[in-house]
Amino acid sequence: MLAFIWAESKNGIIGNQNTIPWRIPDDTSYFKKITTGHTVIMGRKTFESFGAKPLPNRLNVILTRQKTLKETKNLKVSHSVSDLLKTYNSTTELVFVIGGKQIYQQFYPYVKRLYRTYIDQNFSGDTHMIPIDYSEWQLIKTVLGHGPKTNPIAHTFEVYERINTDSANE
């Protein structure tokens, strides 16, 4: 099952100059906990924002037009959304799409679950999350982030499921 995971500020920002414009250890821990042991799909720029190293304990799949990336044990390269959909769209295992914006746009019609960290503060940035029509989604879980001592920015973890998953292209 394809799922998105991302953090988004109050004003819809998800990035700035290929970095995340906030530091929230609680969100970093949440991302690691949720995605560890699963496949993560990302674009080349997102991969480069991690230092061009695969995230540990996950199969990292990079979607890119460039032919220079080399595959390793935990790193696979794809040049085709349709090939990735053939491989991952019908699986019952969670497969996380982790960005960037173009990758979210390409996979949105096929995603059945959303994991959003909502950050209750505005940030400056150059990348907004794609528009999501929340009338197509049911909020199934909300957890408040940990308090101000370790995470000075208020945030909430939200999980949504597509209301009619049969309508998500299969």
Q: Is 91 exposed, middle or buried (0-12, 13-18, 19+ CB in 10 A)?
A: exposed
User: What share of the chain in percent tops pLDDT 90?
Assistant: 86
User: What share of the chain in percent tops pLDDT 70?
Assistant: 95
E strand or H helix at 143, and its extent?
A: strand 137-144
Domain coordinates in residue numbering, the chain: 2-167
Confidence of residue 108 (pLDDT cuts 50, 70, 90): very high
d(CA 63, CA 129): 18
46-101: pLDDT as tens digits: 999 999 999 999 999 999 999 888 999 999 999 999 999 999 998 899 999 999 99
d(CA 62, CA 53): 11
d(CA 13, CA 76): 28
For the segment 3-10, the average pLDDT, to the nearest whole number, is 98
d(CA 140, CA 157): 11
Contact 104, 129 (CB under 8 A): yes
Contact 100, 15 (CB under 8 A): yes
Query: Does the pLDDT at position 139 exceed 90?
Result: yes
**Choice among 42-46, 64-68, 165-169 with the minimum mean pLDDT:** 165-169
Confidence of residue 168 (pLDDT cuts 50, 70, 90): low
pLDDT of amino acid 23 = 93
For 119-130, b/e burial (b = at least 16 CB within 10 A) is beeebebebebb
The topology under which CATH files domain 2-167 is Dihydrofolate Reductase, subunit A (3.40.430)
Confidence of residue 36 (pLDDT cuts 50, 70, 90): very high
Q: In what order do the strands lie in the sheet with 95-97?
A: 75-78, 59-63, 39-43, 95-97, 2-9, 113-119, 155-162, 137-144
Confidence of residue 152 (pLDDT cuts 50, 70, 90): confident
